[in-house]
Structure 1
Amino acid sequence: MNRKRLNIIYLSLITMMVLFLALGGVFQLGTAGSHTVNAESAAVPSSGQKKKLVMGTSPDYPPYESVDAKNNGEIIGLDIDIAKYITSKLGYELEISSMDFNGLVTALQSGRVDFVMSGMSATDERRQSVDFSNTYYAARNTIVSKKSAVLETEESLSGKRVGTQLGSTQDLYAETIQGAVLKKLNKIPDLINELNSNRIDAAIVEDAVAIEMTAANPNLTMSFLPAESAENGYAIAFPKKSTIVNDFNGVLAEMSESGQLDAIVQKWFASEKDESSDKLLNIDFSILKGYIPYILKGVYVTLLFTLVSALFGLVWGSILSLFKISGIKLLEWFATAYTSVFRGTPLLLQLILIYYATPQILNYDISALMAAGLAFGLNSAAYLSETIRGGIMSVDKGQREASIALGIPYRKMMVRIIFPQALRNILPALVNECIALLKESSLVSVIGVTDLMRRGDFVRSLTFRSFEVLLFIAAIYYVLVLILTSFARMLERRLRRSD
């Protein structure tokens, strides 16, 4: 028994080492160049020397920031042009990091980004967590409603269902409206869907976004609220006690005096175009023209992430299953506790925790793709450990007894005799887990991984149409699942023929 236990531990440790080396190699490309310069130590570089500053943004808010999905997929917009001008003047190299708006302040606090520009207002609540530059643009709050039921004043919103983008200035303003029933959503395109579906009566957004919304949706109209309803202008956010705030303020002042700031604003506000369509209330896949190649590039990221997560979960789940049948109380307790924790907490919570906590606790800037692979692999292993344990226990005991009688070493017996039969028995369960990983991979868009879902969100923010984009992405996921299922059936038939 002691020899068996030592063999289990030895086999597990070797497998873990190989697994983590392989995982690091696969994601090396994702982690390369992702180091973030701490803003507190980022002094102005000397002549001829360039340092990198990482800017956090949520590129789903045109014209401030959006993805040029019809061309090279570059993030463009008013905020981007201002950031490029300032960092160039100060001698920095600019790197742009894409993430959800709700995670921008957290990214600043964890040191993942050096500053944030994303149409962010300098509110008193945010000033408690971050430092702000001087404002570079002041927007007006605007009501967007249907032409068939126009709402023009704050008083008219009383008793109405009002939609806002979660965490935005308009969201904070809407909370002060007496009698309004608020519905907070993550993205601007979602507000359009809710308006067109009559789930809300109006949406409160800023003026530039309202112009884009109504231009793309001729059944909507906008009404400007008084200027005093927008108390704060847009500013650049920095970590607390950042040493580069004054440098940025100096360039902003220079841009304002020279007219460069106004020129950038006019460039983006003058580019509004009418993309209205007579097929607004019908399905019109012509809006996808030019965006399909950009969306399809997300298939590679989705498949890479799913493959690595599945392999990681399978290997680590196998190790946990060995722990559970080892007879060693400490290993059994660890495997049981691990399974309980990862099955008892939400996957999304685990994903966000690994992504944001790793730089803060370990001082290691883990890439979004690697964080996603770890989170999904660790979570999948908790479920697979029970599946694999059941598969091992389902193998006839006579196989073990015969192996022992023939003097076959324990490691060789497990690798060449027990595991192959166990995997064959649990193949349908393994396929189901891979399919679940493939579909659940859409969650990684929350931390900025540009998978299929994330790219779809960018296209939705540009077209202000959701149904066609989401239906196209759903079709891609369905085809991928069909291919995976067909491959699994072929493998299963081959295994049956080899019996």
Structure 2
Amino acid sequence: MKRNRIRIVHVSLIIFAFLLLSLGSATPGTPANMAYAASEPTVKKLVMGTSPDYPPYESVDAKSNGDIVGMDVDIAKAIASELGYQLEISGMDFNGLIAALQTNRVDFVMSGMSVTEERKKSVTFSDSYYTARNTIISQKKKAYDTVEQLAGKLVGTQLGSIQDQYAATIEGAKLKKLNKIADLIQELNSGRIDAAIVEDAVAVEMIRANPDLTMSFVPATEEDNGYAIAFPKQTKLVDDFNRALNQMKENGELQNIIDKWFEEKDAGENERSAFLNIDFRVLDGYVPYILKGIYVTLLFTLVSALLGLIWGTILSLFKISGIRPLQWFATAYTSIFRGTPLLVQLTLIYYATPQLFDFDIPALLAAGLAFGLNSAAYLSETIRGGIMAVDKGQREAAIALGVPYRKMMVRIIFPQALRHILPALVNEFVALLKESSLVSVIGVTELMRRADFVRASTFRSFEALLLVAAIYYVLVLILTSLARMLERRLRRSD
């Protein structure tokens, strides 16, 4: 028995070492805000963080090449070109932009971000490049024209935006904070909120796409400081950016960019669809862009499943090894990863890794690690139960016949355990596939993230979400069908 325990530990440590070597083979990246300080590249690089769901400031050109475009992007490109930098754009949720600056994932942020005293405590701002007005959006049949009329009403805002902070000052108003502008439209059209506070240019786009809505401007105040570029504290880029901005203001280039993105557009094509009618014509040109997310979703699911299966198997061997330290480690690991939310684990790995280990971990790798490590905690119990369910006589017979331990586990124990746990494994893989939509919060452009971009561009939710739901359903059907085929084959081999 003691020899068997030693063999279990030996096999486990070999697999574990292989896993660590595989993960460690990735070339460490350079922190975003240090990219321009590297000595080897001939072209210096700057990484711009933005939330591409806020047209016309920034959005994804889903009908073309999927690039992030908009007024902020054009201004950033002009400044980068003037200063001799190569610009790289990183998309993420708006409420994660400040965290990205603080963890050096990006060098600066342009995302229609207003200057506030609260934000000044965390970041440094450039001079203002555009001043917008807060606007009330409501249904035409129940319009609100003044801020005073919102007392006692449920008002929607985008979490972390200047409009969110302004709405908090409306006396008597109740707030509902959402991550996406498209979510505000959905809540307004469904009657779950009475009104929404958004920025004027976005309000115009919303009205064009939703003719049942109306808008009313909020009077300007002295606190309206306009939009500016945000930088990490102690940065040396602010003066250079301000100099380039002032030059663009003087030669008219800044105004030309603003005019380009705020010119009048024909609203006829958007008025063809009322909210109550599901019209898939609004997805014309967007479907190929959404379908490209299938590859990322399947790749992420495969990597997470393999990591979860390998590490889960190691943990299960630790638990049955009979060696106390290994048992305690595996039990503690399972308790931690099953006892904390997966979303918290995902954001911790993505944002904390550059700060703690000086490694700019890619978003997809962070997602694969988080989901794989989390899945391993659940699979370890499933695999352990499958191994323990194999009749003890099988082990005793193999030992009596002199079968080596490793061959016994691979040829005798694991195949029988697999028959017992196959349904549970399939359920876990299906859960990974569906939960992959969570990785959109760190900017991975899988199916759900791409649907969010389409929603932001069309200001309609039903059509894109129904298409993505159908794609997920088909993928799950294919996965379960393959699992049934494997199960029937295993039964025939008995």
TM-score (norm 1): 0.96
* Residues 11-410 of structure 1 mapped to structure 2, 5 A cutoff: 11-22=11-22, 35-38=30-33, 42=36, 49-228=42-221, 231-270=224-263, 272-274=265-267, 275-410=270-405
What's the CA shift string for 1:375-431, capped at 9, x where partnerless? 000000000100000000001111111111111221221122111111121000000
- Match of residue 422, structure 2, among 410, 424, 427: 427
CA offsets 1:33-61 (integer angstroms, 9 cap, x no match) = x644325x846999x93111111111000
Aligned to 2:472: 477
Instruction: In structure 2, list runs of 5 or more residues that go unmatched.
Output: none
Alignment of 1:6 onto 2:3: no
Indicate conservation of the 8 Å contact 1:44/1:90, yes or no. Answer: no
Report if the CA contact (8 A) 1:313-1:379 is conserved. Answer: yes
Tell me, in whole angstroms, the C-alpha distance in 1 between the residues paired with 2:133 and 2:481.
54
Amino acid of the residue matched to residue 165 of structure 1? Q
Conservation of the 8 A alpha-carbon contact between 1:36 and 1:54: no
Distance 2:71 2:458 in 1: 18
Mapped to 2, the partners of 1:17 and 1:476 lie a distance apart of 37
CA contact (8 A) 1:139 1:230 kept: no
Q: Distance in 2 between matches of 1:278 and 1:105?
A: 37
Q: Distance in 2 between matches of 1:276 and 1:77?
A: 23
**Residues 272 and 13 of structure 1, relative CA distance in 2, 3 Å threshold:** farther
| In 2, Cα distance between equivalents of 1:115 and 1:91 | 16
Instruction: Determine the structure 2 residue equivalent to 1:448.
Output: 443
Q: Secondary structure at the match of 2:53?
A: coil
Name the CA distance, whole Å, in 1 between partners of 2:391 and 2:39.
69
Q: Tell me if structure 2 keeps the 8 A contact 1:141–1:229.
A: no
Structure 2 vs 1, CA of residues 269 and 73 (structure 1 numbering), >3 Å: closer, same or farther?
same
Q: Is the 8 A contact 1:36 1:53 kept in 2?
A: no
Q: Counterparts of 1:146 and 1:325 in 2: how far apart (Å)?
A: 62
Query: How far apart, in 2, do the equivalents of 1:247 and 1:200 lie?
Result: 43
Distance 1:44 1:137 in 2: 33
What whole-Å deviation, never above 9, does each CA across 1:280-335 have from its counterpart, x for those lacking one? Answer: 32110111110000000000000000011011101101100000000000000000
SS in 2 for 1:389: helix
Q: 3-state SS of the aligned residue for 2:157?
A: strand
Q: Distance in 2 between matches of 1:417 and 1:310?
A: 23
Say whether residues 1:411 and 2:410 are aligned partners. Answer: no
Contact 2:273–2:279 (Cα < 8 Å) also in 1: no
Change (3 A) 1:183 1:378: same
Mapped contact 2:189–2:275 kept (Cα < 8 A): no
CA distance in 2, matches of 1:420, 1:44: 52
More displaced 10-residue stretch of structure 1: 384-393 or 3-12: 3-12
CA distance in 1, matches of 2:373, 2:200: 44
Cα-Cα RMSD: 1.8
SS of 1:134's partner is strand
Deviation larger for 9-18 or 335-344: 9-18
Shift of 1:209: 0.2
Superimposed CA distance per residue, residues 132-184 of structure 1 (whole angstroms, 9 cap, x where no aligned partner)? 11111010000111111111111111111111101000000000000111111
**Compared CA separation, residues 418 and 45, structure 1 to 2 (3 A):** closer
Matched, 1:493 2:488: yes
Residue 448 of structure 2 aligns to which amino acid in structure 1?
A: M
Question: Residues 45 and 216 from structure 1, CA distance in 2 versus in 1: closer, same or farther, beyond 3 angstroms?
Answer: farther
Decide whether aligned partners of structure 1 residues 323 and 271 sit closer, same or farther in structure 2, where only a CA change above 3 A counts: farther
Q: Distance in 2 between matches of 1:351 and 1:374?
A: 8
Q: Mean Cα displacement is larger for which, 397-406 or 453-462? A: 397-406
Letter aligned with residue 297 of structure 2? T
How far apart are 1:2 and its partner, in Å? Answer: 3.4
- TM superposition shift of 1:228: 1.0
Unaligned runs of 5+ in 1: none
- Aligned residues of 1:99 and 1:446 also touching (Cα < 8 A): yes
Deviation at 1:19, TM superposition (A): 3.2
Q: Structure 1 counterpart of 2:417, which letter?
A: A
Distance 1:416 1:223, change over 3 A: same
Deviations 1:92-123 (A, max 9, x none): 11111111111110010011111111111111
TM superposition shift of 1:12: 1.2
1:276 Cα offset (Å): 1.6
User: What percent identity do the matched residue pairs reach?
Assistant: 72
TM-score of the aligned structures, taking structure 2 as reference length: 0.97
Counterparts of 1:4 and 1:467, CA distance in 2: 58
Q: CA deviation at 1:273?
A: 3.7
Q: 1:273 to 1:6 in 2, by over 3 A?
A: farther
Say how many residue pairs are matched: 492
Distance 1:17 1:483 in 2: 34
Q: CA 1:298 to 1:35, structure 2 compared with 1: closer, same or farther past 3 Å?
A: farther
Work out the CA distance in 1 between the residues paired with 2:280 and 2:348. Answer: 38
Deviations 1:168-215 (A, max 9, x none): 000000000001111111110111111111111111000000000001
Conservation of the 8 A alpha-carbon contact between 1:195 and 1:203: yes
Alpha-carbon separation, structure 1, partners of 2:404 and 2:166: 71
